Amino acid sequence: MKKFFLIVAIGLLCGLSGCGENSVENTISENTSAQNSTTKSSEISAVTETDSETEILTSDTNLPDNTESDTFQTESSEETEILVAYFSATNNTEGVAQKLADGLGADLYEITPEQPYTAEDLDYGNSESRSSVEMNDPSARPAISGSVENMEQYDVVLIGYPIWWGEAPRIMSTFMESYDFSGKTLAAFCTSASSEFGDSDAALRESASSATWLDGQRFSASASEEDVLAWADEIGLK
């Protein structure tokens, strides 16, 4: 009997010893798993923070490039080249044309007839005067002395003249038919003591139908620079 109890006691001790070892092993395993989980969580957090910082740095790095690009585009944009071309038999239109050119920083060109007009030529009351004969003949094309150099360089051409019989003088048709205005922007202005602008530029528009035409304007001979530049501003040139 004593031997039997001794064997049982030994067995119980061994069993308890095994359970203790298993418990310890389980505890160690759980601690190890927890540590691994914590480590992985820290690594994921570190990667996320690093990615966020990389995005911020990348975004900040791109900002100066965009700014420089915008500045370059602005600096490389070309200015609009404007020509003010005019015919002035009595110098009234010349004054307005000069004010436009000065205010817009434009080039100025005078349309000069090969045969200058005299006071007798401009006698509107005489049906036999030169101007009367020309205006009664839609096909008349008075010759011009000289020409515009490098007309192709101009984006905008402002065309000035006095009103004769409600129209632009025939010499203006000579001028219009001497150049290719395709792709250009044109606008007419005239001087008159009483006549309105009306359809005075109708023949000119027909001669350059491929151009873009803006609204024309009539001025008095005494128009100020402020007056003529107000018109330029209205049609988008100032």
Residues lower than pLDDT 50 in the chain: 1-77
At residue 70, the pLDDT reads 31
Phi and psi angles of residue 158, each rounded to the nearest 5 degrees, phi first = -100, 130
Short-list 196, 141, 130, CA closest to 167: 196
> In the prediction, which pLDDT does 194 show?
87
Threshold 0.75, pTM exceeds: no
82-234 under CATH 3.40.50.360, yes or no:
yes
Q: Where are the domains of the chain?
A: 1-76, 82-234
Cβ proximity of 120 and 129 under 8 Å: yes
pLDDT at site 53: 37
Whole-angstrom distance, CA of residue 201 vs CA of residue 187: 9
